[in-house]
Chains A and B, each alone.
Chain A
Amino acid sequence: MNHLHIALWGVLPYLVLTLFAAGAAWRYHYDRFGFTTRSSQLHEHRLLAVGGPLFHYGLLFVIAGHVVGLLIPETLTERLRVSESLYHANALLVGGTAGLATVTGLGILLYRRLRVPAVRAATSRGDRAVYPLLATVLLAGLTATATGVGHHSYDYRRGVSIWFRSLFTLDPDVPAMAHAPLVYRIHALLAMVLFALWPFSRLVHAFTAPVGYLTRPYVVYRSRTPAPRR
């Protein structure tokens, strides 16, 4: 059992991280053409107009919530005099709303993918692996958030977060994660699978968020002669 814990929470994260980084680099080098949203809006637009933004915007908030919950240690919020109850109420309210929006959005998108023939026909093998996984990770995460309602519930900031931060100091705190409730462990494990699949699926389009557009001049000029190879 102990070996399994070490493998899951001490070794696997590094394997996943390596695969994630190396896979993304490999894909970017060899298949830049494959970096696309593979949008199916041309086939169906009504459901997408609701589901797409709901899912993506919800997800942005969910990611922000994870950054706050996992990276900011409890001592910092204490020093800022954010009370424990306020913090958790906030996490539950904002995190729960964002999570619900994301799950609802994904539900609409999944319904659309299954029930609209044109969209269904445009579904790739990668999609078939990623969609159920994404849904399970989201539902597990939402369940974990929901179980944080009670007073004596599990405080992930004293377990999961410590494990997560310890990964980056190359000294993984395996027990901190091994003692977390099952739903947290499922969430973390499936998330790792998701990250491992990430570079090889359509999820790579997240890497190409067009932030540079905000500062770019409108019209782009390029020379016919390609820039010299570095």
Chain B
Amino acid sequence: MPRHRPRSPRVMAQVAMVMNLDKCIGCHTCSVTCKQTWTNRSGTEYVWFNNVETRPGQGYPRGYEDQDTWKGGWHLKGGRLVPRTGGRARRLARLFANPELPRLDDYYQPWTYDYDTLTTAPLGDDVPTAPPRSLIDGRPTAVTWGPNWDDDLGGGPEHLAGDPVLARMSEKVRLEYEQAFMFYLPRICEHCLNPSCVAVCPSGAMYKRIEDGIVLVDQDRCRGWRMCVSGCPYKKVYFNHRSGKAEKCTLCYPRIEAGEPTVCSETCVGRLRYLGVVLYDPDKVGEAAATPDEKDLYEAQLGCFLDPEDPAVARAAADSGIPHDWIEAARRSPVHALISRYRVALPLHPEYRTMPMVWYVPPLSPVVDALTATGHDGEDPVNLFGAIDSLRIPLGYLAELFTAGDPGPVEAALCRLAAMRSHMRRINLGEERDPAIAAAVGLDQDGIEAMYRLLALAKYEERYVIPTSYTATPGGHAAMDSCSLDGDGLPGMMPYDDAGTFHAPLSPEPAAAGSGLAGRLNLLNWNGRGRPAGLFPKRNEDTR
């Protein structure tokens, strides 16, 4: 960033996301559309840039939040911020075998079915079956774990015991928890302000984009040292085992550059995702991430954000080279509103010290449900405020997720949501408005109604306020006319098996042993064009 005037503070812009967990129904549409767009290639069978996990639950990969095992994120060593996996020398010493790399079993072993036997099995008394085959080595396999295996608390208490967040809570809580509370947590890359995956990459292939803060992997510079996989505490960098490169959520940057929301946001049926610009002071990030007490990290990160309404901030942002329409977008940013103005959104695991930039509005609905189940009026403000405080179980769990265990900010956010419900119910029932409800949570009536509009109505134009990328090239709206993935050699992601592109020969597609699938096309890898060899089975000449 060029510093034009040394006195004005540096300002950087970040495209950030907020998800309203109250509205997530766990339908996995975001995961599926994301996978169809980005990771439907061989080598990434097990990869979900976006996944939705049931809480309480182990998550994906299993138990990823247990940093004593995986060593993701940063920790303080003598007051200095050091990647938990160790400093530079230790990283280089472990280059030849990374001790903290999750195994494929920690995600799951990808598989397919030998559908061929359904049509080619000889006539017999038994109904033919399609036995599972490993997508890794093509051999017959037993399916013992898969994506969302423990969805909706499936699998019961033995799987719950593997939840690292639950493990930090008391025994009583653990026993009562599954009756009390369940919600869904959609996760993408956090595009952190202080990304530890970038910090541990020996090749310098990973970087944070200056203009929009998106964290990316340069596929041409990645050498497959796989340190980023362990370095990311959210385990959102994946290793493509066929190309030998790291891949991660790109925040759909070609769409963002064109002013469109990410695929996961666009296709979210619950309309729970918000995208917008946040302005922050990059010089404060290091200090904030090194805050001694983990519980202060949430406040410290809030302190890094700048108020775009402040004329001094707008001036400094312009001085830092941020385009005018970005500053304008930052003012209308739903993300900034939910994080800083209404303070209902909270970061996921701030204790990892990466300063994550995908925040969450904690779910209030389970509290209302629990209250209604006990015969109370679940939306009465008096009942609701009391219940939030007394339902220690969900509050403690949410605090472990969002505020390093400090229930204060979670309680405040839930109370704001409760106040919004009560306030809006009075309006809906034609009762007189009660300004005391809004005042009780530090808001005014207009503020609470604006928050209601943003959270409950969630209009498309208000959910996604994304400025198009600015290109300073003369004559240039180049970025807006076309997708930034168009063109030769871009995006550097692994090409489909089309002829014409030179790349090192990849390992052969594993043949499905003992089945008729040999020589057949894996439809997951088909780009939909033409009629590649192996799309249809070979015609058996004898039968004609």
Chain A residues within CB distance 8 Å of chain B = 30-43, 45, 48-50, 52-53, 55-57, 117-118, 120-126, 202, 205, 208, 210, 212-214, 216, 218-225
For B209, give its contact among A41, A117, A124, A224 (CB under 8 Å).
A224
Q: Is there an interface contact between B96 and A212, defined as CB atoms closer than 8 Å?
A: no
Q: Which residues of A contact B137 (CB under 8 A)?
A: 117-118, 120-121
Q: Is there an interface contact between A220 and B207, defined as CB atoms closer than 8 Å?
A: yes
Most buried by A among B88, B91, B504, B506: B504
Interface residues of B in 501-528 (CB under 8 A from A): 502-508, 510
Most buried by A among B83, B88, B239, B242: B88
Q: Which residues of A contact B504 (CB under 8 A)?
A: 31, 33-34, 124, 126, 202
User: Contacts A31-B502, A124-B505, A220-B204 hold; do A38 and B244 have CB atoms under 8 A apart?
Assistant: yes
CB closest chain-A residue, reference B92: A213
B101 interfacial contact with A, CB 8 Å: yes
User: Contacts A118-B136, A124-B505 hold; do A52 and B97 have CB atoms under 8 A apart?
Assistant: yes
Q: Is there an interface contact between B503 and A210, defined as CB atoms closer than 8 Å?
A: no
Q: Which residues of A contact B222 (CB under 8 A)?
A: 36
Q: Is there an interface contact between A214 and B198, defined as CB atoms closer than 8 Å?
A: no
Q: Which residues of A contact B472 (CB under 8 A)?
A: 225
User: Contacts A36-B245, A38-B244, A53-B96 hold; do A210 and B223 have CB atoms under 8 A apart?
Assistant: yes
Q: Is there an interface contact between B220 and A33, defined as CB atoms closer than 8 Å?
A: yes
B86-97 near A? 1/0 per residue, CB < 8 Å: 001101100111
28 A-B contact pairs sorted by A residue (CB < 8 Å): A36-B223, A36-B245, A40-B241, A42-B103, A42-B239, A43-B136, A45-B103, A55-B96, A120-B137, A121-B137, A121-B510, A122-B242, A123-B507, A124-B507, A125-B505, A208-B223, A210-B203, A210-B223, A212-B204, A213-B88, A213-B91, A213-B203, A213-B204, A214-B89, A220-B207, A221-B209, A224-B209, A225-B471
B220-243 near A? 1/0 per residue, CB < 8 Å: 111111100000000000010111
User: Contacts A121-B507, A218-B83 hold; do A35 and B223 have CB atoms under 8 A apart?
Assistant: yes
A32 to B222, CA, bound (A): 9
Q: Which residues of B contact A53 (CB under 8 A)?
A: 96-97
Q: Which 7 A-B pairs have the closest CB atoms?
A: A34-B504, A210-B202, A218-B199, A36-B244, A38-B244, A36-B224, A117-B137
Q: How far is the CB of B66 from chain A (nearest CB, A)?
A: 17
CB closest chain-B residue, reference A120: B137
B22 interfacial contact with A, CB 8 Å: no
B410 interfacial contact with A, CB 8 Å: no
User: Contacts A117-B139, A224-B469, A225-B471 hold; do A214 and B88 have CB atoms under 8 A apart?
Assistant: yes
A82 to B88, CA, bound (A): 36
Interface residues of B in 67-104 (CB under 8 A from A): 83, 88-89, 91-92, 95-99, 101, 103-104
CB closest chain-B residue, reference A56: B96
CB closest chain-A residue, reference B479: A224
Q: Is there an interface contact between A38 and B220, defined as CB atoms closer than 8 Å?
A: no
Name the prevailing secondary structure of the B interface residues. Answer: loop
Chain B residues within CB distance 8 Å of chain A = 83, 88-89, 91-92, 95-99, 101, 103-104, 134, 136-139, 194-195, 198-199, 201-204, 206-212, 218-226, 239, 241-245, 257, 469, 471-473, 492, 494, 502-508, 510
For B505, give its contact among A45, A126, A208 (CB under 8 Å).
A126
A120 to B104, CA, bound (A): 16
A123 to B202, CA, bound (A): 25
Q: Is there an interface contact between B503 and A33, defined as CB atoms closer than 8 Å?
A: yes
Q: Is there an interface contact between A37 and B225, defined as CB atoms closer than 8 Å?
A: yes
Q: Is there an interface contact between A33 and B219, defined as CB atoms closer than 8 Å?
A: yes
Q: Which residues of B contact A52 (CB under 8 A)?
A: 96-97
For B136, give its contact among A30, A56, A121, A225 (CB under 8 Å).
A121
Q: Which residues of A contact B510 (CB under 8 A)?
A: 121
Q: How far is the CB of B81 from chain A (nearest CB, A)?
A: 8
A219 to B92, CA, bound (A): 17
A63 to B83, CA, bound (A): 31
A36 to B223, CA, bound (A): 4
Q: How far is the CB of B98 from chain A (nearest CB, A)?
A: 6
Q: Is there an interface contact between A39 and B136, defined as CB atoms closer than 8 Å?
A: no
A52 to B204, CA, bound (A): 23
User: Contacts A224-B210, A224-B211 hold; do A45 and B97 have CB atoms under 8 A apart?
Assistant: yes
Q: How far is the CB of A9 from chain B (nearest CB, A)?
A: 32
